[in-house]
Structure 1
Amino acid sequence: MSAGDVAGEAGSVDPNGSGSDLRIDERVGAVLAEHAAWNEEHRRLSEPSLSALRDSGALRLLVPGRVGGDELTFADMVANVREAALCDGAAAWVLMVLVGHSWMIGSMSEDLQDEVYGADLDAIVPGSLAPVGSATECDGGWLVDGRWPFTSGAIWGDWFLLGSQVLEPGERPRLIHVVMPRADIGVDDNWYAIGLRGTGSCDVVAEQAFVPTHRMLDSGELLGARSPWSARHRTSLYHTPVLPGLSVHVAATALGLARAGLDDAADRFGVQDDRYMGTAKANRPGLHMRLAEANTEVRAAELLIADTVELLRQAAEGNDSKALRAHAKYQGTYAIELCRRALDQVANAAGGRALFDGSRLQQAFRDVTMASQHQVADLDTVGEAYGRTRLGMDPGAHPL
């Protein structure tokens, strides 16, 4: 029985909720798996991989319905990103980022939504949310300069969602997010990393790029789900708090990677011999215990993600609070950590050959390691915030 079989035992709770719209089917998955090695080698997503994601309709999952998108649910996002990660972590990560940004654009002006998606519902919107750019107000908008790292899928971008700050003498910086067309963006091909190598998460740069007012939103309104545009949709999706929501996006990728890695480990352990003992590796009691614990960690991550999706639904429908956000963000982050621990467990027991290049276990291990470095996966800081709320205290300065 594979790791995936254990994690999905009959009678267990469906972590995706009922009626998930699965776009990443067997056919799409086969294309993603076929091009995974090319993506790794060339440090970006291949055209066939991107076309498979586009043709599946997965890029439209959280695009607002008012512009013709599907405006589905976080459960649908989790299901599709997880399935993609079973086949290729890089493709899943890029899908996760693009779906996440289309969801965030639903909180920006309707003029911007129409501009981005009016001509192409599958518009590619990479970005970097950290406020590392600088913006100066001018007539009709802003002049923006900056270099933004970790812009996954940058080479394919049609539009870019980027964080910036407005520096005003004697005052704290005002944080804003802007959306810029590809014509205003340069890509620095500097993505060399231990994992998620095929995501093309390069730096992007802009110099004195003009951003009209309708392509900007204050970061507090965007990240805090307080935008006046959020309420102008047929569902409450765009009232979901962004930072806890993004932790679930990353967790969905980690979940699929962990499942893929554990399945590969179980297959390997079933046929490998212990060369020094002269017995089958599958007979090792210690190995049995590692697999049991790793599979339980992944199953716990599934259930935590499902529960977090429900918390976020409650927040979007009006039951929002700092305590709920801290709770949701911690659970999403802890799910990522559980997936990382699970792969660490089996990688340490798999033997040297299982960690050679070309091993699905090795690649999943590297990809989850890299995913766990995302800012939303900072377990210490979000743990402090959640722990404070459990004591009836304010969560502190950690962004929620």
Structure 2
Amino acid sequence: MVIRINSEIGQGCASTAWVCGLGMTHQWIMSGFPPRAQEDVWGQNPEAITFGSYGPIAEAKPVDGGWTISGSWPFASGCDHGQWALLGARFPDADGSMIPGFVLAPAAEYTILDDWFTNGLAATGSKSIVCEDVFVPSHRQLLFADIMSGNTPGYRASGKALYGIPLFAGNPTSLIGPALGALQSAIDAFIETTRVRTTRGMKAGNKMADYAAVQSAIAFACAALDSGRLMILRDLEETHDAAESGREITLDARIRNRLTQGYLIKQVMMAIDELYNVSGVTGITMGNRVERAWRDIHAISQHVTLNWNIVSTMCGQHFLGLAPQGHY
């Protein structure tokens, strides 16, 4: 459902779809926190929304009843719309090591730094969240290890299968819908203009639709869109069925999901490049839907959970019998 909704929104604006997708997935992450933390967020305002930044930037300093945190968390997409922030932190263990996890902070206790200026996904408002000695009660903590496995305090309290899915088995799919929607918009615009467009210059008047390179580009883009949808919906269905039936979502399944997510974005990026490369000057004109999709899709491909170079290396390690290094 998230994929379908975000794909529709992404046809109009990939940035809006991106924020919508993260809004959905961050509320799902909230379900992993202890019930008392969920009550803090939704008890007085059931419509409260949480946005944030996952990187464990800050070291949580122990104090009576919890921790204090300070730091600047970049790339907090949609943070202007949130009432709470979900922030990565490092917690000191008894042996002196640091354990990564999340904390929650209300909007009144942090500031937003207006530092998001990009050529793609420009309207996501992925600004930095800044905290200065913010107190975090102990119940507003969620360890990465718990949400990565799906065995969170929130899941143990609710017992609902949806909340026991490991984070990266499904979480990155919320970022894929915007890319699919942007590619669909580019395909629609390309077909609409190319059917009636003629060449200019030395061979003015020829129909663009008659060129083999143009025909091949639109065919590749359509195939990439259809196959990408099929792959991601297959993975989501199998993951949901496993969770509902109480079966373990195995390492093999989680790696396969991550492979699909990374490859789908690579495929979509190749498709938009095909359209862009045969669009000529029209395709580089600001406001052209192919040009806009090209910028947004390339921006999406840079996300750490979807970047093909990162994802493919991790999956290749697993297939070759090595310990996979990365998010799965």
**TM-score, normalised via structure 1 length:** 0.77
**2:36 aligned partner:** 111
Structure 1 unaligned regions, length at least 5: 1-75
Cα separation, 2, equivalents of 1:92 and 1:111: 30
Structure 2 unaligned regions, length at least 5: none
**2:276 aligned partner:** 347
Question: Which string of whole-angstrom CA distances, capped at 9 and with x for unpartnered residues, describes residues 8-48 of structure 1?
Answer: xxxxxxxxxxxxxxxxxxxxxxxxxxxxxxxxxxxxxxxxx
Q: Work out the percentage of aligned pairs sharing the same amino acid.
A: 27
The aligned amino acid for 1:397 is Q
**1:373 aligned partner:** 302
Q: Sort the Cα spacing of 1:394 and 1:229 in 2 relative to 1 into closer, same or farther, 3 A.
A: farther
Question: Which string of whole-angstrom CA distances, capped at 9 and with x for unpartnered residues, describes residues 304-357 of structure 1?
Answer: 111120232245332222221111111112111111111111011111122211
Q: Sort the Cα spacing of 1:200 and 1:296 in 2 relative to 1 into closer, same or farther, 3 A.
A: same
- SS of the residue corresponding to residue 154 of structure 2 reads coil
1:175 aligns with 2:100: yes
The aligned amino acid for 2:326 is H
Tell me which moved more, 299-308 or 353-362. Answer: 353-362
**2:52 aligned partner:** 127
Q: Sort the Cα spacing of 1:170 and 1:232 in 2 relative to 1 into closer, same or farther, 3 A.
A: closer
The aligned amino acid for 1:385 is M
Q: CA deviation at 1:282?
A: 1.2
The aligned amino acid for 1:237 is L
The aligned amino acid for 2:227 is A
Aligned pairs for 1:48-63 (under 5 A) are none
Pick the aligned partner of 1:230 from 151, 155, 159.
155
Question: Which string of whole-angstrom CA distances, capped at 9 and with x for unpartnered residues, describes residues 50-92 of structure 1?
Answer: xxxxxxxxxxxxxxxxxxxxxxxxxx11111111101111110
**2:315–2:324 CA contact under 8 A, matched in 1:** no
Pick the aligned partner of 1:293 from 208, 220, 227.
220
**TM-score, normalised via structure 2 length:** 0.93
**1:14 aligned partner:** none
**1:396 aligned partner:** 324
Pick the aligned partner of 1:147 from 65, 72, 75.
72
Q: CA deviation at 1:167?
A: 5.0
Cα separation, 1, equivalents of 2:256 and 2:106: 36
Cα separation, 2, equivalents of 1:221 and 1:360: 42
Cα separation, 2, equivalents of 1:225 and 1:104: 10
**1:309 aligned partner:** 236
Q: CA deviation at 1:161?
A: 0.5
Cα separation, 2, equivalents of 1:343 and 1:385: 25
Q: CA deviation at 1:196?
A: 0.6
Aligned pairs for 1:176-325 (under 5 A) are 176-233=101-158, 235-276=160-201, 277=203, 278-316=205-243, 317-325=246-254
**1:49 aligned partner:** none
Cα separation, 2, equivalents of 1:95 and 1:298: 21
Please provide the CA RMSD for this pair: 1.8
**1:323–1:386 CA contact under 8 A, matched in 2:** no
Cα separation, 1, equivalents of 2:169 and 2:120: 23
Number of residue equivalences: 324
